[in-house]
Structure 1
């Protein structure tokens, strides 16, 4: 079961990153170009939110099944998986969630695009930073693979 969840988590990350990148770019272009906030924008943001929450659930299942929370914090790779990875990813998903919720309350299309661009952009930066940190502590891994 652990291997299935790990494979699902590893594969699902591409969907999350692609959706997050597309939603961020769409919001940035909407903000800069003063474009209307469409139903397509809303759906893209919701799909990004849902995919990130699914990734979170898969990650939490792996985290507790593998007992990463029991890792030795003095060992860099164990500290990364025990604290750094989960913290950065939780914060990124909170940013996605808050950004999506706040965009719903925006009164203008410009405000909605700006909110999504800021929150999703910060989440994207955090996720990319987490990937770089993983590569740093475990040189056997590369940027987008195992």
Structure 2
């Protein structure tokens, strides 16, 4: 089960990254060019929200299953303890930094989407999306395990 979830989580991450880049760029272009907020902009922002939440759920389940099945990195919890995990940069990335930063990235996407819905005109909608989706993208990019991606 762990390997299947890991496979899904790994490949779904490419979709999340792609759509978040598209959404952030779209919102920045909309904000700086002062274009009207339209149906396609809404679809892009909503799809970003949905895709990122699905990835978060897959990641949480993967984390729990990894702990329960004592998978590759997760055995460090029982074997080494948290102090040793924090000293090892690889373990710290996979077990602490990556999950925390991805949760924060999804929180920023959610805040941006929620705030933009409350705005009545296009410019403030794009501003909310641009700020929070770009923050989410920065957080996401900061803690992707790049060595595992290539």
After superposition, give the CA deviation of every residue in 1:18-64 in whole Å (9 maximum; x if it has no partner).
11111111111111111011111111111100000110111111111
Query: Please, which of 124, 130, 133 is the counterpart of residue 137 of structure 2?
Result: 124
Q: Structure 2 CA distance, aligned partners of 1:89 and 1:26?
A: 21
Which residue in the other structure is 1:5 paired with? Answer: 5
Distance 2:88 2:139 in 1: 22
Task: Please say if residues 73 and 82 of structure 1, whose CA atoms lie closer than 8 Å, have aligned partners that are also in contact.
Answer: no
Q: Is the 8 A contact 1:89 1:127 kept in 2?
A: yes
> Within 5 Å, which residues of 2 pair with 1:64-79?
64-67=64-67, 68=74, 70=77, 72-79=85-92
C-alpha contact (below 8 Å) 2:93/2:143 kept by paired residues: no
1:74 Cα shift? Answer: 2.7
- Tell me, yes or no, if the aligned pair for 1:23 and 1:48 is still in contact at 8 Å: yes
The answer to whether the Cα contact below 8 Å between 1:27 and 1:116 also exists between their aligned partners in 2 is yes
CA RMSD of aligned residues (A): 1.5
Calculate the TM-score normalised by the size of structure 2: 0.85
Inter-partner Cα distance in structure 1 for 2:131 and 2:52: 17
Gaps of 5+ in 2: 68-73
Q: Which residue of 1 aligns with 2:116?
A: 103
**Structure with more contact order per residue of length (Cα contacts < 8 Å, sep ≥ 6):** 2
| Normalised TM-score (structure 1) | 0.88
Residue 26 (structure 1) aligns with? 26
Structure with max Cα Rg: 2
Unmatched segments (≥5 aa) in structure 1: 136-140
- 2:86 is paired with a residue of what secondary structure? coil
Counterpart contact for 2:31–2:126, Cα < 8 Å: yes
